[in-house]
Amino acid sequence: MSLWIYYPKNSWIFLLLWPLWVISYSTLAVAAAPEVLSEITVVYEKGQWHAILTGPQSVSYRAIKVGDPLRLVLDLPNTLNEMNPKPLTVDNEIINKIKTAEIIHEPQPLTRVQIGLNQNALYKITHRGNEIWVSLDIAEPATKVKPPQTEPTVKSKATKYYTKKEVVTPKSSTKETILPSTALGKSSLPAASKVLSIQQLKMDGELKYYIVANGSLADYVSFHLTNPPRLVVDLMGVKSTEIEGALSFKGPRVKKIRVGRYNTKVRLVFDLIPEKGLPYEIISGKDRLVVSFRPGPSFPPR
């Protein structure tokens, strides 16, 4: 190889040795057990959106950003794909969809991950244990978001509810009804003091938001309001949050999530797009709340 570099007239030596190097490299790669891509989650943390690829522990990767359509492509050599072939719809201000496919099977598997982008974004890739973190940030300064409007204050109820109940506002009433939401099941974790991240997932027409904290979020109060339609979730006893301001999304159901910090709670306000609201459900489990919205004509009846 050094002869080829310093003596171009003898480059035929390199051409002869190149296939031997490729064959030996492939043999060594095949000898190693393949990695497995088992899960992809999208998390908002510390002012950035992160796509987390779970499974690969010692795998290398190649990344390139391409256009038409705009997307970030990651190739994971020697990696099997166990992801659902159906694309993961995210649809926030940076990521729209994530697709995975095992494009080469033998002699060495190669899995390709395509992260669809709604706008040009800077990216950074880090390897953490068995996870690959793809961190994305808006390339240009985003439009400044207006400060959250003041919402009605609701005190936490001492009584805990352990049966699911959906709360609505009667159509004939002009006064908003505010009732405590329900907590399903108990958690052995201590009460949370900080919100760590908010994850959005869209599956089979249902839109889910995972509010993840550093402890249990069983003590919460929720209610919905109209004109404009919104769902308010108060996380009682939570005093800080990694998310400040608002998270913007591209419809069709949730426009943005506004995050406000108070002395005794953190408030999440889901600004909804349909004028009459949406059917929703809130479930508490371990270190998170799951807020789900389903397709429907309005807030559900009593």
Structural domain range at position 73: 35-138
Q: Are residues 257 and 166 in the same domain?
A: yes
Residue 199 token pair: 């994850």
Q: Are residues 289 and 156 in the same domain?
A: yes
Whether 90 is in a domain gets the answer yes
Cross-strand bridge partners of residue 102: 111
The CATH number assigned to the domain holding 117 equals 2.60.40.3500
In order along its 302 residues, the chain shows pLDDT tens digits of: 333 333 344 444 544 554 454 444 445 444 578 888 888 888 887 778 888 888 877 767 888 888 888 999 988 888 898 888 788 887 777 888 899 998 888 788 889 999 999 888 888 888 888 889 899 887 654 444 445 555 554 444 433 333 343 434 334 333 333 334 334 444 578 999 999 999 888 776 788 899 999 999 989 998 888 888 999 999 999 999 988 888 887 767 888 999 999 989 999 999 998 888 888 999 988 889 999 988 887 776 54
Cα separation values, 66 from 63, 70, 71, 74, 77, Å: 10, 6, 6, 11, 19
Report which residue type is found at 298. Answer: S
Cα-atom radius of gyration of the chain, to the nearest Å?
24
Cα separation values, 290 from 130, 173, 200, Å: 25, 29, 10
User: What is the model's pTM?
Assistant: 0.48
Q: Are residues 49 and 195 in the same domain?
A: no
